[in-house]
Amino acid sequence: MSIILGLDPGTTTLWYAFLQSRGRGEAHILDVGVIDTSGQSSQAQKFLALAEDMETLLDRYRPGCAGVERLFFSKNQTTGIAVAEARGVVCYLLARRGIPTIEYTPSELKRALCGNGRAPKIQMQRALMKILHLPELPTPDDAADALALAYVAGLSNRTGEGIA
pLDDT at 67 over 80: yes
Please state, rounded to an integer, the average pLDDT across all residues of the chain: 91
Whether residue 24 is predicted with pLDDT greater than 90 in this model: the reply is: no
pLDDT of 150 higher than 90:
yes
Note whether residue 163 is domain-resident.
no
Task: Select which of 26, 53, 59, 69 is catalytic.
Answer: 69
What mean pLDDT comes out for the span 94-107? Answer: 96
Contact 105, 67 (CB under 8 A): no
Query: Would 161 be classed as within a structural domain?
Result: no
Q: Are residues 3 and 152 in contact, defined by beta-carbon separation less than 8 angstroms?
A: no
Nearest partner of 112 among 139, 160, 150, 84, judged by Cα: 150
Residue span of the structural domain in which 68 resides: 3-156
Q: Which of 48-52, 67-71, 84-88 has the highest mean pLDDT?
A: 48-52
- In the DSSP assignment, the letter for residue 137 is -
- Is the pLDDT higher at 41 or at 55? 55
31 forms bridges with which residues in the sheet? 18
Average pLDDT score over residue span 110-138: 95
CATH code: domain of residue 119 = 3.30.420.10
Catalytic residue among 103, 142, 145, 161: 142
Distance linking the first and last C-alpha atoms of the chain: 11
DSSP string, 83-118: HHHHHHHHHHHHHHTT--EEEE-HHHHHHHHHS-TT
- Does the pLDDT at position 104 exceed 80? yes
Give the confidence band of 158 by pLDDT, cuts at 50, 70, 90: low
The answer as to whether 162 is a domain residue is: no
Answer whether residue 75 shows pLDDT above 80: no
Q: Is the pLDDT of residue 1 over 70?
A: no
Q: Can 69 be counted among the known catalytic residues?
A: yes
Model pLDDT, residue 61: 98
- On whether residue 43 sits in a domain, the answer given is yes
Overall number of domains in the chain: 1
Cα gap 68→142, rounded to integer Å? 12
Mean pLDDT of 5-9: 97
Question: Active site residue: 8, 103, 145, 161, which one?
Answer: 8
The reported pTM is 0.92
Residue 164 within any structural domain of the chain: no
The reply to whether 15 falls in a domain is yes
Q: Is 142 a catalytic residue?
A: yes
